[in-house]
Structures are given as C-alpha cells and as structure tokens.
Structure 1
C-alpha cells in the first residue's frame, strides 16, 4: 500500500479524536450565566427574533408602488388584406403591434397608511419577542430558585439525619445501659428511615429541576451545568414601592407594548379603510407599431368606481370593532398585570418578613431547644418524645427558612416579568 493513503487516514483519525476531545463548556452556578447562555443559544428566542426581523422587513414593501404592467397586442397576425403570404408573429410583418405600459397609483395617503400599519405590526412583533424572552428568563429564574431550594433542603436534611443518628445512638446506649426503653431506640430508627425517604425524594426533585433548566437552555450538547451556588440579592425595600413599580410596568411591560402597537395598527387600518372611499388611479401610455415605425401614441387614464357601499360600510365597521377590541384587550391585560404585580409584591413582603422571623427568632430558639433536650435526655431528665419534638421543630424551622428564601426569588422573578426589566 502506498504511504499517502495511510498518512491521510491517520490525519483524519487524529482530527476526529481532536474534535472528540474538545473540552465541555461549564455554565451555571449563578442565574446570570444561565440567562446569558439562553439569550444567545435558545432556539425559540432565536425564532422570535427572526420573526421580528421579518416583520420589520415588510415595512418598506408595504408602502411601495405596485410594479408597472406591460401588455403587448399583436393585431392581424394572419395578414388578412395584406401582401404577406401567411400568418406571422413578428411585429414588422403583421398589421400592427400595440404596446401598453401602465402604472397603478393608490389614492393620496394610502401608501403611507399601509407603511404605518406594517410598522405597527413590526413593533408588535418586537414586543412579542421581548415578551417571549422575559417569559423564558422568568422560567429560568424560577427553576434556578427551585433547584437552589432543593439543594439547600438536601444539605439541611443530611445535617438533620446526622443529628438524628446521634440521637438514635444515644437512645441505644441508654437502652443497653438499662436507663432507656427499647421503644425509644425503635422510634429513633423509624424517624431515621422516614428522613432517609424524604432525602431521596429531595434528591429526585433536585435532579428534575436540573433537567428542566437544561431543557430551558435548549438542551445544549457538550455543556455541563454547575449546581446553583448563590441566590440573587434582593433589591432594597425603597425600590419595591407599588406606585413606582406600577409606573415602570406601564412604561416597560412588553405585553402592553404589543397591545399599544396593535392599537396603533388598528387605528391606521381604520384610516386606510376610510380612504377606500376614494378611487385608485391607473395611468398608461401605449405606442402602436405599424411595420417598422411607431404610427401613433395613446394615453390611458383609468379609475375604479367605489360603488359597493354596503361592502365598504361593513369593512369600516370591522375596522372600528378591531380597534375597540384592541383597546379593551389592552385594558384587560393592564388590569391583570397590575393584579399580578400587587400579588407578587405582597408575597415578596411576606416571604421577607418570614425569613427575618425565622432567622432571628425561630431557628436559634429551635437549635437551643434541641441542644437542651439532648443534654437533658442524656442525663435522664426528659423522655425521648421531648427530644423528638425538639428535633422536628428544628427541621420545620430550617424548611421554613429555605422556603422563604426560595419564595422571595420566585416573587422577584415574577415582579421583574411584570415591570419588564431587572430590579
């Protein structure tokens, strides 16, 4: 075998190995890195951007003049009454040829209105693309917060489980020494099994949250997700004023922007339908060729006669109803957005206050109660039920803390979706 094919095969194999050995991209750890990746790589958002660009590209053609028309008429192609021996299709060898060039001219203002209607459609498409991104970003933020909640719950569950194993060991030691009952050791073991079951469920929920995040990123290949490392800081209370947020919502909410563009398009559409009361004009010029010369010129002027008044009134009524529907839809969306904003703001305030109560009061008290109950149980001053109750109080306090922090992040994401921007 010649060496050239062998060398070529080795190079191809080396190239394939190099591509296979490309390092994978690692993202995650913070919600900002996930959002940045999704903005550049998510196929649905890319499709929305492409649709907005397509709508923008329709604006200029909407107001352009229609293409002119060229018509050719060949007269007396059979050469009846002429000296020619037979029929022909060449203009110099028939009776005459007539050429007509015509251009349709819409009534004054129609082209501008058509362009404005298309421009409103482009603005609506851009607003929908922005709304689609906010929806995607909100879902990423929510699932990131849920994943962080699951991981924090898993960490606390493992700590609680280790603590309960210590309690179970104490119960077994007391039972072996004759100071405790077998029932205490059995109850401790049952509690451990229940906690291990909860831990397995939490780990499953965490894996599901990670899978949802990967799906929201477009299921990228050669990408590994880091687990959430931190939550976003909450804005100061001064930025969470309802009046200020309501003003930002009215100014930046993409759904309302799309509604405004739809209203503008409906208004311009109504004006365009009203202009249909006036005729369009068609101008033309027509030279006639006889043999090898142009023997005459003709000018043409044509208009359409707007006689179908019943049809036109129905179109005008349709345009009015479309405008009314667009305005009512915007009002309905505004009311819904304000209601959701108020609800999310109240939920954020409750979650923030709950975190403060748990952090400063409930959690430290539960830890003190458990330490005191453990010490008293080891000395035989309280029964096992007191220890178990104190341990459950600590677990409940930790769960409330994790849930409150997760709720704050979820409410914050919902508020940012309503106001259309980051806080």
Structure 2
C-alpha cells in the first residue's frame, strides 16, 4: 500500500523545515535586536528599569513597607480567656474533669484592647511616612543607576568616537606615506619621511588596541548595570542626547526643582515626618490604654451569670517616659538637620556641576567653530605644501597631530557635557 500525502495533511518533513525556518528567523531577529541595543542611551535605560535586581529589591521593600500601613492603624485581635473553676469537683460526687460542663464553674472572658484616642492614627501616620521613605529610596536608587548608565554610555561613546577618529587619521597617514614614497622615489626627500609616516601608523595601531580595550571595559560595565553577561553584544554608540538650552540651566530654578523632586530629599522629608509622628505617639503614651471585656459564667450546661470588665495600664514610670520623649525629640532634630544637610550638599553639587557643563559646552563650541576649522585648513595647506616641496615632513606631522588633538578635544567635551548632564538630572530628580 502506497501512502500519498494530501493538501490537508502535509508531510512531516515539510513541517519540520517550516519550524526550523521560523526558529532561524526568530534567532536572526533576536540578534538584530541585540545589535541595536546600545546605539542610544534610552534603550539601555528602558532595559535597566525592568531588569536591574537592585531596583527589584527596592521595589519589593517599598511594597512591603506599603503593606504595613493598614495593620499599623488596626485594633489588635481580641483575646478569649477560659477559666475552669473547681476542676476536682470538690463537694460533688464527680471526680476530676476538664470539660466545661463537668466542672464546678467555667468563666469565659472576651477582651478587646483599646488604645488612647489618636494613637492608632499616629501609628498609621508613622507607617505611611515609612512607606513614602521606602518609595523615595527606590526612586533614588533608580536615579543613581540611570546616572551611572548615562555616564558609562558617554565614555563608551568617547572610546568609540576616538577609535573612529584614529582609523580616519590612520587612513590619512597612509596617504601621507604614499606621498612621501613618491617624493622619495623622485629624490625630492629623504627616506626618513616615509619611515616616520610608518612609525606614526604603528603608534596609532597601538592606540587602537587600547581604545578597543576601553570599549570592551565600557561594554562590560554597561552590561553589568543592565544585569547582562559581560560579553553580551552591544551596538556601536551612534548619538548623544541633545543638551538642554542654556535657559534651562538656571541654578536657582534647578535648586528649587531639586528641593521638590529629588528622591533623597523626599526620603529625608518622609523620615522627618515619621520622626515627628513618633514623637507625638511617644507623648500620647502619657495616657493609659484600656481593655474592655464581657464575662459569661457557665455552670453545668447553662450560662448562669454575665459580667463586664474594664482594665487600664497606669503610666507611672515617668523617668522612663521622659527619656523616651527626649529620644523622640532628638530623632526629630536629627532628621531635620539631615534634611538640611542633604539639601545644602545637593545645591552645592548642582552649582558646581552646572558650571562644569557650561564649560564643557563652551569648549566644544570653541573647538567645533574655530580650532577644528583652523586645524583642517592647516592640514590641507601642509599637505599641499609638502607635495610641492615647500614644507618639511615634521611640520606636516605636526599639522596632522593638531587636527587629531582638536577632534579628540571635541569628543572629550561632548562626553564631559553628557556626564555633567547626567549628574544634574540625578540631583534634580528628573530629566531636563
């Protein structure tokens, strides 16, 4: 019997081939996506926000702190007490027994503790302040992580940019070497010119090795911040974030935004609120807490009598209480001083960092608009003059080094501005 496949039942081999093709397509897509990661800093930030274990830990702690709010303001569970009286049945014909209806008398007491009015609200307020503090610490951790990613990306961009620059200059030196070889063949220059061009290329190739090592280090650092394997692929950095306009870098305005939005300050404000609530709660401990209860009494199988009970603690340990109140006041003072200290530090760092950003921006503008253009013009003139025999090789090398230095200063200023921008955004607590 010969089996003939139909259109409704394709051969198993065809199904396997389609599955393999789909798997290959998915692998190619995944590799392309991995290659694209790293071309800009925003993609790295998006990955870090969802994958970083430190952030996951902080979020879990903040969630745990939030779950403590409701229990902090709730009444404690009631208590049930059962007392078996005359368990040996003295005076009765029965013997020892522990069953409630077989003893002389069973007394039940149902009690509920009631704190002094206002204590539950204060305890809830302390828990809410602690929850806000935990949430603010989570945001502070994210701010710190984002700054580290932005800084590492700027250095990654600097290393990649320097690598591209050295490769361009290396091509230029090869052309200069060819010019020197032609002139040497014509007896117009000494062989030393071509040899010096080759030595310059060797130096650049050694620098390329160092730059590749720097790129690997920055890739490993970025992958660590993203909770990826150190050797995980990252794309070449293509562009830096645009800098904010100078009007957005007004220090007093940024300082005001930092006082309102910086997570460190928000956490310290929540710590201060918690200390103040704790102080008020300690002062309320001067007043007693109460317990009320209901007491039915059972004899045999019947409830024969009912009673009510009232209980209160007597706050007599005034020396202990005064020490606790002094401690709570000291904690409030410390929390307020800590907030002020953090605010002063942040404002000081802000002014310094804004000045450094402005200096980096001015340096980059000066190099781009003047130094770089002048260096390019000088190099072109030097090459033309060397070809015509009006300039020696040393001056040509110097012109090449000048344009290379200008391009390096431009890249360094751009990366420095990005690092300072990241620090400003960490201080302010939000993107500019």
TM-score by length of 2: 0.91
Give the CA deviation at 1:93. 1.0
Please, what is the CA RMSD of the aligned residues? 2.5
Does 2:61 correspond to 1:51?
A: yes
Give the CA deviation at 1:248. 0.8
Change (3 A) 1:179 1:344: same
Partner of 2:78: 68
Residues of 1 paired with 2:23 and 2:368: CA distance? 51
Residues of 2 paired with 1:360 and 1:16: CA distance? 55
Give the CA deviation at 1:46. 2.0
Residue 259 of structure 2 aligns to a residue whose secondary structure is helix
Residue 120 of structure 2 aligns to a residue whose secondary structure is helix
Match of 1:205 among 207, 214, 239: 214
Change (3 A) 1:182 1:19: closer
How many residue pairs match? The answer is 415
Where does structure 1 lack aligned partners over 5 or more consecutive residues? Answer: 1-10
Q: Deviations over 1:146-168 (max 9, x none)?
A: 11111111111101111112222
Change (3 A) 1:117 1:381: same
Match of 1:29 among 25, 35, 39: 39
Residues of 2 paired with 1:78 and 1:16: CA distance? 84
Is the deviation greater in 169-178 or in 64-73? 169-178
Give the CA deviation at 1:16. 10
Partner of 1:422: 431
Residues of 1 paired with 2:70 and 2:81: CA distance? 27
Where does structure 2 lack aligned partners over 5 or more consecutive residues? Answer: 1-14
Residues of 2 paired with 1:131 and 1:391: CA distance? 46
Give the CA deviation at 1:43. 2.2
Q: Deviations over 1:261-318 (max 9, x none)?
A: 0000000100001111111111111111111111222221111111111211111111
Residues of 1 paired with 2:284 and 2:81: CA distance? 29
Q: Deviations over 1:370-415 (max 9, x none)?
A: 1111121222212111011111111100000001111111111111
Residues of 2 paired with 1:142 and 1:328: CA distance? 31
Does 2:185 correspond to 1:168?
A: no
TM-score by length of 1: 0.92
Please tell me whether the aligned partners of residues 379 and 399 of structure 2 are also in contact (alpha carbons under 8 angstroms). Answer: yes
Question: 1:33-112, aligned counterparts within 5 Å?
Answer: 33-84=43-94, 86-112=95-121
Please tell me whether the aligned partners of residues 224 and 230 of structure 2 are also in contact (alpha carbons under 8 angstroms). Answer: no
Please tell me whether the aligned partners of residues 73 and 121 of structure 2 are also in contact (alpha carbons under 8 angstroms). Answer: yes
Please tell me whether the aligned partners of residues 220 and 231 of structure 2 are also in contact (alpha carbons under 8 angstroms). Answer: no
Change (3 A) 1:233 1:108: same
